[in-house]
Amino acid sequence: MSANGSPMGFGRMRRKEDARFVRGRGTYVDDVRLPGMLHGAVLRSPLAHARIESIDTTAAEAHPKVQAVITASELAERGLAWMPTLSYDTQAVLASDKVRFQGQEVAFVVAEDHYAARDALALIDVEYSPLPVVADAGTSLDESTVVIRDDLKDKQDNRIFDWEAGDKASTDAVFAKADVVVAQDVLYPRVHPAPLETCGIVADFDPIAEKLTAWSTTQAPHAHRTLLASVLGIPEHRIRVISPDVGGGFGNKVPIYPAYLCAVVGSMITGRPVKWAEDRSENLMTSAFARDYHMRGEIAATSDGKILGLRVRVLADHGAFNCTAQPTDYPAGFFHIVTGSYDLQAAHCEVTGVYTNKAPGGVAYACSFRIAEASYLVERLVDMLALELDTDPAELRMRNLLRPGQFPYVCPTGWEYDSGNYPAALELAMKTAGYEALRAEQAAKRERGEYMGIGISCFTEAVGAGPRKHMDILGLGMADGCELRIHPTGSAVLRISVQSQGQGHETTFAQIVAHELGISPDEVEVVHGDTDQTPFGLGTYGSRSTPVSGAAAAVAAQRVRERAKLVASAMLEVSPSDLDWERGRWFVRGAPTIGRTITEIAAAAHSSLELPDGVEGHLDASCVYNPPNLTFPYGAYICVVDVDPGTGQVKVRRFIAVDDCGTRINPTIVEGQIHGGLADGIGMALMELMAFDSDGNCLGGSFMDYLLPTSVECPPWELGEMVTPSPHHPLGAKGIGESATVGSPAAVVNAIMDALKPFDVRHADMPLTPAAVWCAIQGRPLRS
Ligand code: CDP
């Protein structure tokens, strides 16, 4: 413990950054106010698919407070009418030929204030000729369906890609010999990350220095700088991206949005800084969505419950432009980890991506690139198999879970899981839940016509992308840099390439350095979110900060320690090989009272002491960490619900979550991450839906329509902890940021389906709103 009670390394401590957050002293993009700053607003398409006949901006330009009106033709003069997406597609920055989804960017107004910019949008006259709309992914590949992306040369249909993983022949063979096969169509509906802070930018182009400074809500400042450089043609060293405090990202702040480029162009045209900040509806309707996976799953087993194989076919709705964000060679992300936590003989999955007239995106909303979809599917299938076999779902899982001795385990689609003890996690969850007693309670309630359900989900995540030889985004390999500077007084500054959106990096990264050097986390300042001040790296998403950048911090600190050893040997006039380390100091082996603390050594490294070879004058060190593999956190969740059959209302009564993310740096922060993810899961299972009508009108454009969970829907969480260190991470830590979002929806849905067992309901799609549950009980389709 340090003098103020902080642990000298790992353990519970309050978040350092909260000192400013709880006082309302955070600095978000919308707090940035620069002298002479103008404001931008986006004119958006009211139609989902239409040809643009004309755009008349005369009246808007005449508005006394308007400084510029930008349309695709101005952008085209600068070669910016279209921009590359993170998935090697192109996206219209401002629409020129057609609009392809409702809310698409058509024009950008720059004005003296935000209100004038908004008012002037109404003065722009756009003439549209409506086109047939593809709102249903299921019809997108029909021959008669209109081609959405006729801007792409020779494009004849709405197919984006076909992709497969696993071995089809061996999977078919396993299915052929199976006693039981269960098949089901399962939808993971379109949902939205819905961060509390919407997206925005303040773009300040200095025409004299020809330097762009962009304060933006990005989760990946360095990647954005490189992309802005290649798109805008500004040399990268003349671009500074600053991502100040960010109010939640969840994948939504990974892409570069058209309005970011419009704000930059607005600043270039006017010579003044331009701020653009989305409102809530813009964020929900037009920024990157998640999921929208239409899945057909089949699971094969023996009659005594040994699961043999999995066969999956997916239609992936990517919206009007392919803007998904995942490593290049993985068009369906890490979906092929669909075998989950089970020991199967074979698996095969096929994914077809399609264009529809909906907002683009398909980002990894609080999961590592489509693992949420994969985990949900396999956990639903296992429950349906249990139903078919008339077996307890816990028993079926216990029989088929991977055993600790099987790690490292290579799954049938090629992932090498690093470590885990899955049966112990399920056992702990069942013990915490009082599983036997819950089943007895359920049986008694069924007798009384009360419908209680118990749902289980055993999930495996794969987080911490790279390694860079297998994983890149637009050619940028997935590794992360870090620099650690030790001041003469022994305090430290750690500069990292990842960017916190509220996960507490300023605390946990300080704890990592503190752990390695034996100093207090309070003595470690963490700098992030500014490309001029931090080394290059790919940013924060897919729970990669701790697995990749956290490892970089640990290695840099270990390098500092090794340098300190050389200096200590000079100070103590002994050979480095005669020194031993204990937290915070090097001492002479066999004479523990003779030693030097890191603080003393740091002072000596900056003093007139004759420094030994290998130390040039300070202890500073850096590291670029290229992870050898992903880390594989996992968990076992149990959810208990009560369903009112008269109204279809679901009450989540209990939720038991056992998580294993290896070494926990700060258990309080880890638990907070789990709490948030569990709430996310309840939201997706019960209420979140980005729906569209057949004309492509978005029906989820406000928080009145797109429902988010609150504490009212969430029970007191009951958490259990397992620690199986990752064998390849220098701290044994695995990511945790998204585990609970991945694992929890299946537990809730499985619980509801378990409650509805007496009604012979096998499956109903999320979100299980009261109407959806009621219809399932009645045996009616939801929208009849
Ligand atoms: O990339 P992101 O920060 O979203 O996810 P993460 O690496 O899983 O970390 C989320 C937060 O939990 C960070 O503050 C981590 O340092 C912390 N954490 C931890 O204390 N122990 C772990 N084993 C994993 C994460």
**Top mutation candidate among 13, 546, 664, 738 for ligand 1, by most atoms within 8 Å of CB:** 546
Is residue 732 a part of any domain in this protein?
Answer: yes
User: In terms of Cα–Cα distance, which of 207, 715, 157, 53 is closest to 433?
Assistant: 715
**Top mutation candidate among 673, 731, 741 for ligand 1, by most atoms within 8 Å of CB:** 673
Predicted local confidence at residue 137, as pLDDT:
97
**Top mutation candidate among 218, 499, 669 for ligand 1, by most atoms within 8 Å of CB:** 669
In short, whether 543's Cβ falls inside 6 Å of ligand 1 is yes
Handedness of CA 196, 708, 460, 367 (dihedral sign): negative
663 C-alpha to ligand 1 centroid (Å): 11
Mean pLDDT of the chain: 96
Residue-wise pLDDT for 698-720, tens only, equals 999 999 999 999 999 999 999 99
In short, whether 627's Cβ falls inside 6 Å of ligand 1 is no
Query: Which of 601, 625, 649 is where one domain is finished?
Result: 625
| Inter-axis angle of helices 505-517 and 551-572, nearest 10 | 30
In short, whether 730's Cβ falls inside 6 Å of ligand 1 is no
Is residue 306 a part of any domain in this protein?
Answer: no
User: In terms of Cα–Cα distance, which of 780, 742, 749, 644 is closest to 687?
Assistant: 749
SS (H, E, C) 185-225: EEEEEEECCCCCCCCEEEEEEECCCCEEEEEECCCCHHHHH
166 C-alpha to ligand 1 centroid (Å): 31
Q: What is the dihedral of CA 522, 526, 527, 528, to 10 degrees?
A: -140
666 C-alpha to ligand 1 centroid (Å): 8
Please indicate, yes or no, whether residues 378 and 263 belong to a single structural domain of this protein.
no
In short, whether 374's Cβ falls inside 6 Å of ligand 1 is no
Residue-wise pLDDT for 124-153, tens only, equals 999 999 999 999 999 999 999 999 999 999
In short, whether 528's Cβ falls inside 6 Å of ligand 1 is no
In short, whether 729's Cβ falls inside 6 Å of ligand 1 is no
632 C-alpha to ligand 1 centroid (Å): 13
pLDDT band at 1 (very low <50, low <70, confident <90, very high): low
Q: Of all atoms in ligand 1, which is nearest to the CA of residue 547?
A: 7
- Determine the number of helices (DSSP H) and then strands (DSSP E) in the chain: 18, 32
708 C-alpha to ligand 1 centroid (Å): 24
Alpha helices in 548-693 (DSSP H): 551-572, 598-605, 667-686
337 C-alpha to ligand 1 centroid (Å): 22
Please indicate, yes or no, whether residues 576 and 648 belong to a single structural domain of this protein.
no
Predicted local confidence at residue 759, as pLDDT:
96
Residue-wise pLDDT for 455-476, tens only, equals 999 999 999 998 999 999 889 9
670 C-alpha to ligand 1 centroid (Å): 7
In short, whether 767's Cβ falls inside 6 Å of ligand 1 is no
Predicted local confidence at residue 5, as pLDDT:
67
Please indicate, yes or no, whether residues 263 and 388 belong to a single structural domain of this protein.
no
Please report, for the domain that includes residue 241, its CATH number. Answer: 3.90.1170.50
110 C-alpha to ligand 1 centroid (Å): 39
Q: Write down the residue that tokens 């503190």 correspond to.
A: 514
Please indicate, yes or no, whether residues 429 and 519 belong to a single structural domain of this protein.
no
In short, whether 515's Cβ falls inside 6 Å of ligand 1 is no
Please indicate, yes or no, whether residues 644 and 758 belong to a single structural domain of this protein.
yes
Please indicate, yes or no, whether residues 416 and 454 belong to a single structural domain of this protein.
yes
User: In terms of Cα–Cα distance, which of 87, 187, 98 is closest to 138?
Assistant: 187
- State how far the alpha carbon of 725 is from the alpha carbons of 262, 317, 337, 505, 662, in Å: 46, 37, 21, 20, 4
Write out the two tokens for 36. 């002479």
In short, whether 503's Cβ falls inside 6 Å of ligand 1 is yes
Predicted local confidence at residue 781, as pLDDT:
80
Predicted local confidence at residue 615, as pLDDT:
86
Is residue 159 a part of any domain in this protein?
Answer: no
Predicted local confidence at residue 192, as pLDDT:
97
In short, whether 663's Cβ falls inside 6 Å of ligand 1 is yes
Do residues 91 and 152 touch, judged by C-beta distance below 8 A?
no
Q: Please name the residue whose Cα sits nearest to atom 11 of ligand 1.
A: 503
246 C-alpha to ligand 1 centroid (Å): 16
Q: Of all atoms in ligand 1, which is nearest to the CA of residue 507?
A: 14
In short, whether 662's Cβ falls inside 6 Å of ligand 1 is yes
305-331 mean pLDDT: 96
Q: Are strands 480-486 and 524-527 parallel, antiparallel or unpaired?
A: unpaired
Handedness of CA 233, 236, 239, 240 (dihedral sign): positive
Q: Examine the pLDDT at 519 and tell me if it is beyond 60.
A: yes
In short, whether 735's Cβ falls inside 6 Å of ligand 1 is yes
In short, whether 526's Cβ falls inside 6 Å of ligand 1 is no
Is residue 662 a part of any domain in this protein?
Answer: yes
Measured between alpha carbons, how far is 428 from 435 in angstroms, rounded to an integer?
A: 10
Predicted local confidence at residue 592, as pLDDT:
94
Q: At 512, which helix (H) or strand (E)?
A: helix 505-517
**Beta bridge partners of residue 455, listed in sequence order:** 639
Strands (E) across 602-649 are located at 621-625, 634-643
Measured between alpha carbons, how far is 478 from 57 in angstroms, rounded to an integer?
A: 43
Please indicate, yes or no, whether residues 67 and 101 belong to a single structural domain of this protein.
yes
Q: Please name the residue whose Cα sits nearest to atom 22 of ligand 1.
A: 664
Do residues 87 and 12 touch, judged by C-beta distance below 8 A?
no
pLDDT band at 2 (very low <50, low <70, confident <90, very high): low
Please indicate, yes or no, whether residues 79 and 203 belong to a single structural domain of this protein.
yes
Is residue 468 a part of any domain in this protein?
Answer: no
Measured between alpha carbons, how far is 71 from 99 in angstroms, rounded to an integer?
A: 13
Alpha helices in 610-731 (DSSP H): 667-686
Q: Please name the residue whose Cα sits nearest to atom 10 of ligand 1.
A: 737
The SS3 of residue 296 is strand
Provide CB contacts within 8 A for 77, sequence distance 6+: none
Domain count, the chain: 3
429 C-alpha to ligand 1 centroid (Å): 22
In short, whether 726's Cβ falls inside 6 Å of ligand 1 is no
In short, whether 736's Cβ falls inside 6 Å of ligand 1 is yes
Query: Which of 606, 625, 644 is where one domain is finished?
Result: 625
Q: Examine the pLDDT at 342 and tell me if it is beyond 90.
A: yes
Please indicate, yes or no, whether residues 770 and 728 belong to a single structural domain of this protein.
yes
Burial 314-351 (b: 16+ CB within 10 A, else e): bbbbbbbbbbbbbbbebbbbbbbbbbbbbbbbbbbbbb
Please indicate, yes or no, whether residues 620 and 636 belong to a single structural domain of this protein.
no
Q: At 68, which helix (H) or strand (E)?
A: strand 66-70
Q: Please name the residue whose Cα sits nearest to atom 2 of ligand 1.
A: 543
Q: Of all atoms in ligand 1, which is nearest to the CA of residue 10?
A: 20
95 burial level (CB within 10 Å; 0-12, 13-18, 19+): buried
Is residue 421 a part of any domain in this protein?
Answer: yes
Neighbours of 433 (CB within 10 A): 24
Residue-wise pLDDT for 49-91, tens only, equals 999 999 999 999 999 999 999 999 999 999 999 999 999 999 9
Q: Of all atoms in ligand 1, which is nearest to the CA of residue 542?
A: 1
Predicted local confidence at residue 119, as pLDDT:
98
550 C-alpha to ligand 1 centroid (Å): 8
Residue-wise pLDDT for 471-505, tens only, equals 998 899 999 999 999 999 999 999 999 999 999 99
Please indicate, yes or no, whether residues 675 and 553 belong to a single structural domain of this protein.
no
Q: Write down the residue that tokens 């023996």 correspond to.
A: 302
**Top mutation candidate among 253, 508, 549 for ligand 1, by most atoms within 8 Å of CB:** 508
pLDDT band at 645 (very low <50, low <70, confident <90, very high): very high
Measured between alpha carbons, how far is 368 from 370 in angstroms, rounded to an integer?
A: 6
Q: What is the DSSP string of 371-440?
A: HHHHHHHHHHHHHHHHHHHT--HHHHHHHHBPPGGG-SEE-TTS-EE----HHHHHHHHHHHHTHHHHHH
Burial 455-473 (b: 16+ CB within 10 A, else e): bbbbbbbbbbbbbbeebbb
Predicted local confidence at residue 364, as pLDDT:
87
In short, whether 666's Cβ falls inside 6 Å of ligand 1 is yes
pLDDT band at 312 (very low <50, low <70, confident <90, very high): very high
Please report, for the domain that includes residue 660, its CATH number. Answer: 3.30.365.10
Q: Examine the pLDDT at 4 and tell me if it is beyond 70.
A: no
**Top mutation candidate among 480, 545, 726, 742 for ligand 1, by most atoms within 8 Å of CB:** 545
pLDDT band at 784 (very low <50, low <70, confident <90, very high): very low
320 C-alpha to ligand 1 centroid (Å): 33
Residue-wise pLDDT for 193-245, tens only, equals 999 999 999 999 999 999 999 999 999 999 999 999 999 999 999 999 999 99
Length of the chain: 784
Residue-wise pLDDT for 252-268, tens only, equals 999 999 999 999 999 99
**Top mutation candidate among 14, 503, 634 for ligand 1, by most atoms within 8 Å of CB:** 503
101-111 mean pLDDT: 98
**Beta bridge partners of residue 698, listed in sequence order:** 692
Query: Which of 577, 596, 625 is where one domain is finished?
Result: 625
Backbone angle region of 207, left / alpha / beta, with phi > 0 → left and psi within -120 to 50 → alpha: alpha
737-751 mean pLDDT: 97
Q: What is the percentage of the chain residues whose pLDDT exceeds 90?
A: 95
Please indicate, yes or no, whether residues 456 and 486 belong to a single structural domain of this protein.
no
Residue-wise pLDDT for 568-589, tens only, equals 999 999 999 999 999 899 999 9
Is residue 53 a part of any domain in this protein?
Answer: yes
> Domain of 606?
18-25+479-625
Is residue 564 a part of any domain in this protein?
Answer: yes
